[in-house]
Structure 1
Amino acid sequence: MCASRASLWPAGCSASASSSRIDRALRRIPTQPASMHRSETMKNRSYPANQFTGRHMLAIMLAFFGVIIGVNVTMAVMANTSWSGFVVKNSYIASQEFNRRAAEGREQDALGWRSQISLRDGTLRYALVDQSGASRVLSSGKGIIRRAVNDTGDHALVLRPAGNGALEASVLLEDGIWIIEILAEAGLERPYRETHRVMVRNRSFQ
């Protein structure tokens, strides 16, 4: 038809044939789905350095909850391993015991005795002197040494005669503040009781 009309529409027939060839060539080219094209576009997209993205939000959330969990775990471990503050099992019985000891303490103070306590090179020495300045003979004694703020370093003491009526016991104490409670047999109806708060440095009292 184009050949018979070549004299009338030569340009039109040539354009139509060229268009048909282009269409056939385009059909042979494989095409990608639109979704794949969008995915590749998102992968290749670059963000400005100062732009807040979802990754930044994720990092903030992980850091926030990580700090909270870390603090809670640390406090739980410290609470479980440190001193609980527990002192007596029954406060009523403890109050009665306190009143009894207070009365005994007043009777003991009326004696006018003075104690001498020292610590040198890991040896604790305890002695009593009466009102006249004479040394009292102590036959035996016991006691306990404890920290002022916890119960992790308690030491039980067994004091034995060491000459001149004094008592001695071997004990190694770390530097710091300690409370020493001693019960000494001094020929009285009840043991002579004393409590001392001392500072230890280089294995000696300061």
Structure 2
Amino acid sequence: MMEQSMSNPQKPKEFTGKHMLMVIGLFFGTIITVNLIMAYFATSSWTGLVVKNSYVASQHYNEKLAANRAQDALGWSPSLDVGGDVLRYRLLDAKGAPVDATQAEAMLRRPSHERDDHMVTLLPDANGDFVVDHALASGAWDIEVQLTTSNDIPFVYRERFIVE
């Protein structure tokens, strides 16, 4: 028995060029995979730019702040309903009555890119809501609804929503 174990000694495993190639391949494959995953999440979840030029936007900050305060002081309550292929916007005054306006313009934007950005016009419905039949692709959307009442009072509403 002793003879068999002596005649078949096990060689220590060598680290060859093939092993080094596999190590390098695994190393760079891991880095590339992680970068691709991070790039996917960055492009699918990026909230987007609010303004194109922050310096120019900062010059009008106080004006926008005053307009927002004036709008809040009205006590109006807006709501948005996106169901099926219908966008429904409701704006009630402080007494709970629908606000009188001839139309509302809505800018629909994707948070992550500009390719699907577009405007739609919402028209008044019989119950005072503003409605448009408009199919949206699934995913995240930002809407900015602007209307001017019959008394020339401007109102702006912004919301982010998800279409399933």
Asked whether the two chains share a fold, i.e. TM above 0.5, the reply is yes
Whole-angstrom CA distance in 1 between matches of 2:41 and 2:126:
46
Secondary structure of the structure 2 residue equivalent to 1:136: coil
Cα separation, partners in 2 of 1:168 and 1:78, compared to 1, 3 Å: same
Cα displacement string for residues 95-144 of structure 1 (whole angstroms, at most 9, x for unaligned residues): 23332222111112222222243223221112322223322222011122
Match of 2:68 in 1: 105
Identify unmatched segments of 5+ residues in structure 1.
1-46, 202-206
Cα separation, partners in 2 of 1:58 and 1:127, compared to 1, 3 Å: closer
Match of 1:179 in 2: 142
Matched-pair contact (CA < 8 Å) for 2:107–2:143: yes
TM-score for both structures, normalised by structure 1: 0.56
Whole-angstrom CA distance in 2 between matches of 1:63 and 1:100:
56
Matched-pair contact (CA < 8 Å) for 1:111–1:131: yes
Deviation at 1:73, TM superposition (A): 7.2
Whole-angstrom CA distance in 2 between matches of 1:58 and 1:196:
52
Letter of the 2:113 partner, please give it.
Answer: D
1:91 partnered with 2:54: yes
Deviation at 1:85, TM superposition (A): 4.4
TM-score for both structures, normalised by structure 2: 0.67
Count of aligned residue pairs for this structure pair: 153
Cα displacement string for residues 61-86 of structure 1 (whole angstroms, at most 9, x for unaligned residues): 34434555x35873797599665944
Cα separation, partners in 2 of 1:160 and 1:86, compared to 1, 3 Å: same
Larger relative CO (CA 8 A, sep 6+): 1 or 2?
A: 2
Deviation at 1:52, TM superposition (A): 2.6
Match of 1:151 in 2: 113
| Sequence identity percentage | 36
Secondary structure of the structure 1 residue equivalent to 2:60: helix
Whole-angstrom CA distance in 1 between matches of 2:155 and 2:63:
14
Whole-angstrom CA distance in 1 between matches of 2:92 and 2:150:
13
Secondary structure of the structure 1 residue equivalent to 2:127: coil
Matched-pair contact (CA < 8 Å) for 2:88–2:129: yes
Match of 1:115 in 2: 78
* Aligned-CA RMSD value: 3.6
